[in-house]
């Protein structure tokens, strides 16, 4: 599939409507939930770009179906994490992005990207941070035997999964839960809190100057 062109902002948004980009590696359900929320007017923002890091990512089909421009930035074609992040910054600057949302971006981002978007980089993580940082947050919670799991939307800082929390939602763990069943219930909460977190993040910083 060939990515469509990114439309000029005059055609897609009013100048004072903040412009969002989403970074995704997986199925893209959070991308779609955030897009629908923006299209319903809350948060008041235009989601104008999806970036994925692998060509098999399910988020691409969602972007095609929903008419959102997307770009592939394949980590395997970049010499370092910093080189990948520099390419992302280039795309975000071209598209005049105000806020970037990591919605299942399964790569560690570097200070290069974080410092280019200070307070403007939001991540969604499937645990009640600070518990269960890093990969497989849901499996970590199940293995630890907790009775309350959940998800966190937070600003990104240089320590992985450690930035200021914007919104959290708790999800009870059932005795019968598997990784799949608990992940499904956590994702339903992610879809609810991510738009709230984006609205909060935007209220803190406003449009990029
Ligand atoms: C989400 O559950 C998100 O919390 C998780 O990836 C999933 C992506 O789902 N992110 C992480 O684990 C980051 N450490 P989606 O592609 O359907 O939105």
Predicted pLDDT at 16: 76
- For the cut 60, the answer to whether the pLDDT of residue 8 exceeds it is no
Query: Taking each helix axis from N to C terminus, what angle separates 59-66 and 29-39, rounded to the nearest 10 degrees?
Result: 20
Residue 114 CB contacts under 8 Å (≥ 6 apart), including other chains = 121, 156, 157, 158
**pTM passes above 0.75:** yes
Span from the CA of 49 to the centroid of ligand 1 (angstroms): 18
Residues with CB under 6 A from ligand 1: 24, 26-30, 103-104, 124-126, 137, 187, 190
> Mean pLDDT, to the nearest integer, of 75-85?
95
pLDDT reading at 10 higher than 90: no
* Contact between 163 and 174 (Cβ < 8 Å): no
Active site residue 154: no
**In 3D, which of 60, 1, 49, 77 has the Cα closest to residue 25?**
60
Which are the contacts of 164, defined by CB distance < 8 A and separation ≥ 6?
Answer: 154, 155, 157
- CA 59 – CA 24 distance, rounded (Å): 7
Q: What is the pLDDT of residue 119?
A: 96
Residue 130 preceded by cis peptide, ω within 30: yes
- In a mutational test of the pocket of ligand 1, which residue from 36, 53, 104, 131 has the highest number of ligand atoms less than 8 Å from its CB? 104
CATH ID of 19-205, from 2.60.40.10, 3.40.50.170, 3.30.420.40, 3.40.50.920: 3.40.50.170
* pLDDT digit string, tens, across residues 154-181: 999 999 999 999 999 999 999 999 999 9
Q: Which atom of ligand 1 is nearest to the CA of 138?
A: 12
Ligand 1 centroid – CA 165 distance (Å) = 16
pLDDT in tens, 182-193: 999 999 999 999
The rounded Å distance from CA 71 to ligand 1 centre is 19
* CA–CA dist 5, 28 (Å, integer): 20
3 or 103, higher pLDDT: 103
Region 126-137: what's the mean pLDDT?
97
- Average model confidence (pLDDT) across the chain: 93
- 125 CA → ligand 1 middle, Å: 6
């Amino acid at each position: 599939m060939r990515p469509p062109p990114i439309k000029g902002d005059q055609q897609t948004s009013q100048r004072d409507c903040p412009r969002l980009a989403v970074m995704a590696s997986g199925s893209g359900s959070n991308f779609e939930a955030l897009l629908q929320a923006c299209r319903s007017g809350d948060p008041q923002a235009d989601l104008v770009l999806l970036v994925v890091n692998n060509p098999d990512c399910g988020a691409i089909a969602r972007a095609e179906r929903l008419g959102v421009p997307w770009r592939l930035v394949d980590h395997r074609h970049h010499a370092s994490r910093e080189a990948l992040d520099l390419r992302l910054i280039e795309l975000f600057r071209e598209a005049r992005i105000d806020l970037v949302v990591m919605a299942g971006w399964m790569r560690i981002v570097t200070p290069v990207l974080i410092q280019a978007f200070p307070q403007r980089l939001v991540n969604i993580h499937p645990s009640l941070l600070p518990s269960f940082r890093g990969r497989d947050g849901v499996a970590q919670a199940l293995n630890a035997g907790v009775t309350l799991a959940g998800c966190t939307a937070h600003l990104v800082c240089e320590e992985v999964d450690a930035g200021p929390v914007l919104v959290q939602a708790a999800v009870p763990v059932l005795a019968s839960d598997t990784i799949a069943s608990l992940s499904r219930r956590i994702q339903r909460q992610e879809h609810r809190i991510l738009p709230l977190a984006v609205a909060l993040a935007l209220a803190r910083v406003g449009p990029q100057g």
